[in-house]
Amino acid sequence: MKDLRSQFEFSRFNCARRLFPRLFVLTFLFLIFSPANAKVTSSNKIFFPAKEGRPLLELQKTPVTWWNFLFYDSSKIQRSKVCDLLSGLDKESILFNPCGNLPVNQQWLNRWSKENLLHSPPPQSLRDVEKKLNHALVQLSLPLPTGQLEILRTNPLADFSKLEAVFSRFFETSEPSTDKWKAIPILFHFPPSKVSKTENLLKSFPTDSSHFHWVGPHIGTYENQQTIIKDVKKVLTTGTLLLGLLFLFLILRGRVAYLLLIPILGISCLFAYLVVHWAWGSIHGLTLAFGSGLIGISMDYAFHGWKTNHDHFLWKTNSIGFTTTFGAFLLLTFFSIPLIRQISFFTSTGLACAFILSFSLSRLMSTRWKIAPLNVPRFNISKTIRLSLLGLFLLLAVFKIPGFHYDFALKKMDHSISLRPEGVSDEDLFNDSSRLGFLPVQANRQEEIISWGRNENLSLLGSHSLFTTRHSEDSLQKWIQWSCPPGQGIKALDNPTFQKIFREFYSFLSCENLQTYRLNDWKSSLNLFKNQNQELLIVKANNKNQYDKIKDRWPQSFFVSDFTKNFSKSMEKDTIQYLIIIFLFVSSLLLIVFQKRFPLVILPTLGAVLGLILLVGFSGRPATFMTFMGLLILLGLTLDYGIFCTAFLKRRKPLDDVFGAVSLSALTSICGFAPLAFCTHPVLRDLGGSIIFGLMGACFVTFIAYPLFEVSGGKKS
C-alpha cells in the first residue's frame, strides 16, 4: 500500500514537473506576442449606448457643465468663512468662484479677453474703436480690482456696461438651497474625468467636516471612483485569500491537479484579452475585472470532467453546459450598453478557450494524474423533510413576491448620492418639474429665440459658442486684413493716453502678432452640436408646459432629465428583452437534449430566482440593473448544476460525484463573488448580493431536491 502511494506521489510529481513548465512557456509566449500598444481604458463612453449617451458625453466635454456646488450648513458656519476656506483652493483648477474678489481664473481670463476679440469682426471705423476705448477709460477710473482692470486693458472693446446682472440671476435661479444647507456654485477648470485633479483640489479643503458637502459631476465621479477602488482592493484581498484557502484545502485533500486551473484561467483571460483588443482596439478596465471573474465559471467543467478515468459522458454533459453558458454570453454581445457587450465578448471567448484547454488536459489527467471524486456529506434526511424544506423555501419566496420591485434609475448606481446629508441635492436642476436643457441654435437665429423666450418667460442661464475652426480662422484673417495695411489698424489711433494705458491691446492687435498668432485648438468635441457659428443655449424649463413648448419648437434640444429617464428605460427594456431571449434559447436547447426531463434541469435556476426574490423581499431595496446582471451570471452557473445532475439521473448514476463538482464550483464562485456583497458601492454590492443569494438558493434546491429523484429513479443502491 505504501509503495502504491509513493508511486502515485511520484507520478503526480512527474506529471506536474512536465506540465507546469510547458504551460508557463505558453503563457510567456502569449505575453511576448501580445500587442505592444495594448491599451486598457477607463473611459466612461463605454457605459452609454451610442444613441442615448452621445449627447451626454458631448456635454461632459463642455465647460458649462463643470459646475459643482459646495453646500455648507448655514446654521453652523457663515458664508464669509466658507469663502475664506475656498480661497485656499488651487486657483488654476477653478474657473469661477463667486466668493473671490476676482471670481475668474486670471490666466484663463487673460487669454479669454484677448482671444474673444478675434471671434467678432473688426470694427467698422476707428471712430468706433476710439469711442469704446474712451468708455473703457471711464470704467478704468472706477475702483475695480487689478484683475478686472487687466481684462479692460487687454480687451477694451468688450462692452461691459451693457451687461445685466446675469451673475446674480444665475445664482438666484440655479443655486440650490434649503433652510439649513446653502450652496456656493464653483466652476471647475477641467472635465470630471480628471479625477486626480479633483482629488488634489479637494485635499486643500476640509471635506471631512460635517458642515460641508460637495455635490456635482466632478465630486460624484471622484467619490464613486474612490469607493470602487477601496471596494475592489477589499474584494481582491478577501477573494484571493478565500480562493487560496480553497486551493490549500484541495491540495491537502490530494487534488493538486486542480492547481492547473490557475494557468488555464490565466491563458484563457490572456487569449480573451488579445481577441477583444484586436476586435475593439482597446479594452476597458472593468471588462478585465469582471470578465476574468466570469471566465472562472469554466472551472465547473474541470471539476466535473477531470476524473481518474476519462469519461465521454462527463464531457458530453460539460458540452451542453458550456453551450448554454457560451450561447447566453454570445447573445449578450448584442446588448445596447457597450460595456456589457465587451464583457460578454471577453467572457465567451475566454470560456471557449478555457473549455478547450480543460477538455484537452482531461485525457492527460486521466492517464497521468489520479483525481478521486470529492466526497461531500449527503444529508440523509427523509423524503418528507426534503419536501417540507423545499415547500417552506417556495412558500417563503412566494410570500415575498409582492415585495419584489425593481428600479433601473441611474441614481441607484451612484454611490455619491447616498453620501449626501438630508437637504443636500442638486436635483432641482435635473428633475421633471424644473429641467436644465441645452439648445443648439444657429447664431443668426438669436433674435428669434430671444423674442420667443421673452414671450414664454424662459430662464436663460447662459450660452456656449460652438465656433468651428474655420469660422475662427476666417475671423482671424479679417483682423489681419484690418491691421496689416501700413498706417491702418489700431496703430492709426495715435493717442498717447490710449497707447500708454492699452499697451497690451495695441501690441496684441499688431500685424506681426496677429500673423503669428495661433488660436486655441478646437478639438473634435461637441460634434453632435457643432455647426458653423452655433450657440449652445442653456435654458431652464420651469414647468412641464415650458418644457413641452421647447421640445416642440426645438426637437433637437437635449435635456439631462430626459437622458436619465431614457437611459433607465432603455436599460430596463434591454435587460428584460435579453433575459427572455436567453431563457428561450437555453430552454429550446435543453428541451431538445433533455426533453421531458427539462423541468429537472432548471430546478437550480429556479432556486436561484427564488433566492433573489428573498434577497429583494427581505432587504427592502429594489432590484437594480446589477441585480439582473447577477441573474444572468447565475443562469450560466446554475444551469450547469442542473445539467450535470439531470444527466446523472438520466443515466441512473449516483449523484455523489456530481455533488462534489457542484460543491467545488459553488465554493469557488462564493469565494470569488461573496466579498462583493460586502462592498459599499451599490453596483458591486448589488451584483455580489444577487450572486450569493442566488447561489445559496440554487445549492439549496440542488442538494435537497435532486436526491428525491435519485431515489425515485431507482438506481440508488
Q: Find the binding residues for another protein in span 411-470 (CB under 8 A).
A: 446-447, 450, 453-455, 457-465, 467, 469
DSSP label at residue 623: B
Among 56, 59, 89, 95, binds another protein (CB under 8 A): 95
* Residue 112 or 644 having the CB closest to another protein: 112
C-alpha 454, offset from chain centre:
40
Among 12, 91, 119, 211, binds another protein (CB under 8 A): 119
Query: What is the Cα–Cα distance from 656 to 403, expressed in whole angstroms?
Result: 37
The single residue listed with the C-alpha cell 465578448 is 345
DSSP label at residue 424: -
Sites for another protein among residues 157-186 (CB under 8 A): 158-170, 172-173
Query: What is the Cα–Cα distance from 490 to 222, expressed in whole angstroms?
Result: 48
Shortest approach of another protein to residue 493 CB, angstroms? 14
Burial 443-466, CB ≥16 within 10 A → b, else e: eeeeeebeeebeeeebbbbebbeb
Best CA proximity match to 483, nearest among 507, 463, 459: 507
* Residue 99 or 259 having the CB closest to another protein: 99
Best CA proximity match to 668, nearest among 300, 384, 330: 300
Cβ atoms 97, 214 nearer than 8 A:
no
Among 6, 146, 360, 418, binds another protein (CB under 8 A): 146
Determine the interface stretch with another protein among 92-100, 308-316, 354-362, 584-592 (rule: CB under 8 A).
92-100
* Residue 159 or 427 having the CB closest to another protein: 159
Size of the site for another protein (CB under 8 A): 76
Sites for another protein among residues 539-558 (CB under 8 A): 542
Among 49, 103, 176, 688, binds another protein (CB under 8 A): 103
3-state secondary structure 118-142: HHCCCCCCHHHHHHHHHHHHHHHCC
* Residue 367 or 520 having the CB closest to another protein: 520
Among 283, 538, 541, 626, binds another protein (CB under 8 A): 538
Cβ atoms 332, 326 nearer than 8 A:
no
537 burial via Cβ count (<10 Å: 0-12, 13-18, 19+): buried
Shortest approach of another protein to residue 510 CB, angstroms? 19
Cβ atoms 188, 69 nearer than 8 A:
no
Best CA proximity match to 688, nearest among 698, 701, 673: 673
C-alpha 426, offset from chain centre:
21
C-alpha 64, offset from chain centre:
22
* Grid cell in block for residue 571: 436599460
The single residue listed with the C-alpha cell 471622484 is 222
Which residue stretches of 369-414 are H helix? Answer: 383-400
Sites for another protein among residues 60-89 (CB under 8 A): 63-64, 80
Q: By CB under 8 A, is residue 134 in contact with another protein?
A: yes
Q: By CB under 8 A, is residue 126 in contact with another protein?
A: no
Among 32, 138, 208, 595, binds another protein (CB under 8 A): 138
Determine the interface stretch with another protein among 153-161, 240-248, 565-573, 589-597 (rule: CB under 8 A).
153-161
* Residue 95 or 371 having the CB closest to another protein: 95
Among 141, 382, 516, 717, binds another protein (CB under 8 A): 141
Sites for another protein among residues 383-402 (CB under 8 A): none
Query: What is the Cα–Cα distance from 683 to 414, expressed in whole angstroms?
Result: 8
Shortest approach of another protein to residue 445 CB, angstroms? 10
Sites for another protein among residues 230-249 (CB under 8 A): none
* Residue 419 or 460 having the CB closest to another protein: 460
* Residue 188 or 563 having the CB closest to another protein: 188
Shortest approach of another protein to residue 183 CB, angstroms? 15
Sites for another protein among residues 506-535 (CB under 8 A): 519-523, 535
* Residue 120 or 309 having the CB closest to another protein: 120
* Residue 104 or 228 having the CB closest to another protein: 104
Q: By CB under 8 A, is residue 149 in contact with another protein?
A: yes
* Cβ atoms < 10 Å from Cβ of 571: 23
User: Residue 30: how many CA atoms within 13 Å on its side-chain side?
Assistant: 18
* Residue 118 or 228 having the CB closest to another protein: 118
Determine the interface stretch with another protein among 48-56, 103-111, 363-371, 599-607 (rule: CB under 8 A).
103-111
- Helix count and strand count (H, E) for the chain: 28, 10
